[in-house]
Structure 1
Amino acid sequence: MFDHFVWSVVVVPPLIVLAMRLLADRLPPSGAAVTMAWSAVAVGVASMTNLTVFALKAIAEIPAVGRTFGWSGRVVADDTAYVSWVPWLSAALLGAALVSVVRRWRQHREALRLGQVALPDGSQLLVVSDPTAQAFAVPGRPGHIVVTTGMRQLLTDRQFDALLAHEHAHLAARHHRLIRLAELAAAMHPALWWVARQVDYLVERAADEQAAVEVGSRRSVAQAIGVAALAASGRPDTPYGLHAVSSGGVVPRRVAQLLNPQATVRSRLLRVLPVSLALASVIWTGEAIYDLCELLNAARPGR
């Protein structure tokens, strides 16, 4: 069974990060974000499931548990006697992952709850009197856009239209769901942390591209992002929302892509690598569950 642990918990998560690094800028941002988020979730779930299998094996090794359910704890333990520490390490890692996932899920739910406000006449735009330069989309049913007066004063009408188009693109594509999936995957396995950051960058790029189409000017979108980034520099982000100015030093990359767009390959074949790795991890996890059942059956007296 140890090979299942090695493949799904140790090997695949960093391997899929490497594959995504190679492919991220070669695919259209919207498609790349979807592929990355769902592949990362599949890998994260497979990792946690393998940890669960080994945690159950650790429990099954306890003599009292074996006597209760009618199997030999010694036979169960002997299956991985050469790495006897793995089942118990898996139990500890599983506990840490569960705490991380629950905490992240609650943070997302609380963030969405805090962002909900009632707007008059079904409007999606809320202008807040605040000298701080902020602009972000708050997802919901319906979602809405928040812009401070400080941000509005900095932008020309055309730049403001570009900013609104960017935020509307977030709401229309429900980008918050992809971000949530990627962050939950990162909570499941720390190696997937980079994927969450990359998905955040890609949804911003996707919104940039959609905004450029709507306003008919890539330069206006790039200028709006640049002005907003300079104005918001050094200021803390709000705890919720999808920002036109994302953190992590990616604004220059976004502006460069708008002003000098790089060619992307609209081919599903490029998505095969991360998807295949994720699928292989899921299948291998199914094998781990089957092997545990077989082991417990073989550990019963008379087998």
Structure 2
Amino acid sequence: MFDHFVVSVLVCPVLLALAVRWLADRLRPEAAVTVLVVSIVTAAAACLVSLSAFALKAVAELHPVAVRLGFSDAVVRADTSREPWVPGLSVVLLLAALAGMARVWWRHRRENAIAAEFRGLPVDADRVAMIDDTRAEAFAVPGRPGRVVVTTGMRSALDDRQYDALLAHERAHLDSKHHRLVLLARLAAAAHPVFRWLTRRIEFLVERAADERAAEQVGDRRVVAKAIGAAALRAAHTRVGLPMAPASHDLRSAGVVPRRVASLLAPRYAAGLLALVAFPVALAAGSVIWTGECVADLGELLYAAGLLH
């Protein structure tokens, strides 16, 4: 079973992380972000299942457990006799992953509770709730229906076209369910440490996807770029303490503003590279298949241990 540990826990996640990091800056973000997030989430889930299988093997290696269930613990241990550390390490990694995912989920619930305070605000026909506040803030609040919260401080910092770009950006987050993609990416990062290398990249990619959607709706990439810069400058001068919504995805967050502006003004996407998203998809699918074989091998091992008892 050791080869399953190597492939599902080490090789596939590392190769996938490298592929996602390389592709993230070379594909149109709105075309790639969902595929890339689903790929790393799938690989992370496969990794968790593999770790669970090896953790179960670690339990089966305990003599009192084997006696109780009527199988040979020696046969179970013999399968990884050259790598006796794998089952124990798998238990540690699995517990660490579950604890990390629990922290991510707790943080999500806390942020969702804060966002709930804004869901009761009255909105206009454009699903916009305007708050009288000198701080420059704008963020999307998911829900049924979702809404965009904008402060008067932010509204006064933008002209009409820039304000339209801001609203288009935030609506893109709502319509594309970007909050779910970010949550899934954070859970994957908690499940496997190599995916932590991608968290900021995914969040930046989500913002870029919303930028591109806003540029399509407004019809002028320069207007969106100017809106990003104006919002960031005004927010830097008016923010006091923490943001009004800690997990908000707005025109300033998730990445360096100059990079987003530069991407809008001089996009460098190679259309021919879109086919390369098949590579992370194939890696994720291969990880699932290999994990399925791991679970099957564990079942066969436990069956053989019972027969040889």
Deviations 1:166-189 (A, max 9, x none): 111111111111111111111111
Check the 8 A contact 1:139/1:241 in 2, yes or no: no
User: Residue in 2 aligned with 1:160?
Assistant: 163
User: Residue in 2 aligned with 1:296?
Assistant: 302
SS at match of 1:81: coil
User: Residue in 2 aligned with 1:120?
Assistant: 122
Instruction: Note the aligned Cα RMSD (angstroms).
Output: 1.8
CA separation of 1:222 and 1:110: change in aligned 2, threshold 3 A: same
User: Residue in 2 aligned with 1:285?
Assistant: 291
User: Residue in 2 aligned with 1:66?
Assistant: 66
Check the 8 A contact 2:215/2:224 in 1, yes or no: yes
Q: Which of 134, 138, 146 is 1:131 aligned to?
A: 134
User: Residue in 2 aligned with 1:27?
Assistant: 27
User: Residue in 2 aligned with 1:93?
Assistant: 93
Deviates most, 235-244 or 205-214 = 235-244
Any runs of at least 4 consecutive aligned residues in structure 1 with deviations exceeding 6 A, and if so which? none
**Distance (whole Å) between structure 2 residues aligned to residue 121 and residue 133 of structure 1:** 18
| 1:169 corresponds to 2:167 | no
Unpaired runs of 5+ in structure 2?
Answer: none
User: Residue in 2 aligned with 1:4?
Assistant: 4
User: Residue in 1 aligned with 2:250?
Assistant: 243
SS at match of 2:25: helix
SS at match of 2:91: helix
**Distance (whole Å) between structure 1 residues aligned to residue 144 and residue 247 of structure 2:** 15
Question: 1:106: Cα distance to partner?
Answer: 2.7
Deviations 1:93-122 (A, max 9, x none): 111111111221232233223212223366
**Distance (whole Å) between structure 1 residues aligned to residue 254 and residue 19 of structure 2:** 23
Percent identity between the aligned chains?
Answer: 52
Q: Which of 145, 164, 180 is 1:142 aligned to?
A: 145
TM value normalised by structure 1: 0.94
**Distance (whole Å) between structure 1 residues aligned to residue 190 and residue 123 of structure 2:** 39
CA separation of 1:284 and 1:173: change in aligned 2, threshold 3 A: same
User: Residue in 2 aligned with 1:208?
Assistant: 211
**Distance (whole Å) between structure 2 residues aligned to residue 271 and residue 23 of structure 1:** 8
SS at match of 2:10: helix
SS at match of 1:181: helix
User: Residue in 2 aligned with 1:270?
Assistant: 276
User: Residue in 2 aligned with 1:57?
Assistant: 57
